[in-house]
Amino acid sequence: MNPPFLPFTRPSIDEETIAQVCAVLRSGWITSGPQVKAFEAELSAHCGGRPVRVFSSGTSTMEVALRLAGIGPGDEVITTPLSWVATANVILAVGARPVFVDVDPATRNIDLNRIEAAITPKTRALLPVDLAGLPVDRARLYALAERHGLRVIEDAAQSFGARWNGRPIGAEGDFASFSFHPNKNVTSIEGGALVLPADIDPALAERWRLQGVARSGFDGMEVDVPGGKFNLTDVAACVGRGQLKRLEEFTSRRRHLARTYFDTFDLDLGCDLPVMDWQNCNWHMFQIVLPQGIARPAFMQAMQERGIGTGVHYPAMHLFRLYRDLGYGPGMFPRAERIGAAIVTLPLFPAMVDADVERVCAAVRDSITTLKTQGPT
């Protein structure tokens, strides 16, 4: 009998959380309410007491952060081409232009050495991404931003639970945006959170979150900004609260599984492995870059046939039509293009056991060996 299919990720929702969700459903208050307030307070405590507001997605948090920072038409925002496309789409959504900078080949994050060459008089902000939960060097990032008078919106969608210099990501800095999508280390089904800097009024973030509305008294209502519909439900917040209690457990387990990958993986296959960071990274994903000559679709098909799920995170976004129409194209960011064309996400989630990692590594070895034997497809 074949072992069950192993997906590349699966959330771990405990029975206590499920029972609490049922209680919320029975309460009659299922949209934004007391669970949202409690979730925000707990997230604020995690982020060193800084103001935190929760949203319906990690995409909306970045868009609102850009608006709160006053970024709009005519402005430029520097970011990485190697991320989920939402990172650059939100820049377009506020009327600004994304300016891509190639990645560091080891960390796969934006290459901080290349940022200054991309800064122009129109540059207003830096929007770095912590790919796979590995933090961008915050000391160098903020030194750059201070030197040029730029805002920072940290796309920390993948790095909730990661640390920098011993402190949680989000505990210091400018804006920090988290995602609680089901494939993240902590989930609220769908959702996100925005950590706010001291110069931003949290009430303004709340108005951008929900149609610009400010209420007073029994019937007072005012609208001063064209806000969106980005509020989180109490059902989602309840799930997030249950997950947040287990953050350290989840992170510890992910770190152990990542170590098992490094101990087991066949280095002779020629794959590029991630940076071994046991102090800062939350090990949101374990990603390999396939060796030259191995076609990713064929590899993913071979893994699926062996009962292993894989993912692609992410193609280089400047090659999408939307960004080609803005003047970007092949050859402009060769590191991101090479990695984006060959990167594969392997299974990594807390419910896995060591034998699952060993099974994945065996399937990777078998799949690549077989594909090398077959030759180009």
β-bridge pairing 97-100 and 151-155:
unpaired
DSSP symbol at 148: H
- From 37, 122, 184, 245, active-site residue: 184
Cα separation, 319 vs 337, in Å, equals: 8
- Give the three-state DSSP class for 376: coil
List for the chain the helix, strand, coil content (%; round to 5): 40, 15, 45
Tokens of 178: 């988290």
What token pair was written down for 150? 């730029």
- 184 catalytically annotated: yes
Instruction: Name the 3-class secondary structure at 79.
Output: strand
C-alpha 17/C-alpha 2 separation (Å) is 32
Rounded distance, CA 341 to CA 322, Å? 18
Burial of residue 279, with CB atoms counted within 10 A of its CB: 0-12 exposed, 13-18 middle, 19 or more buried: exposed
- What positions carry a catalytic annotation? 184
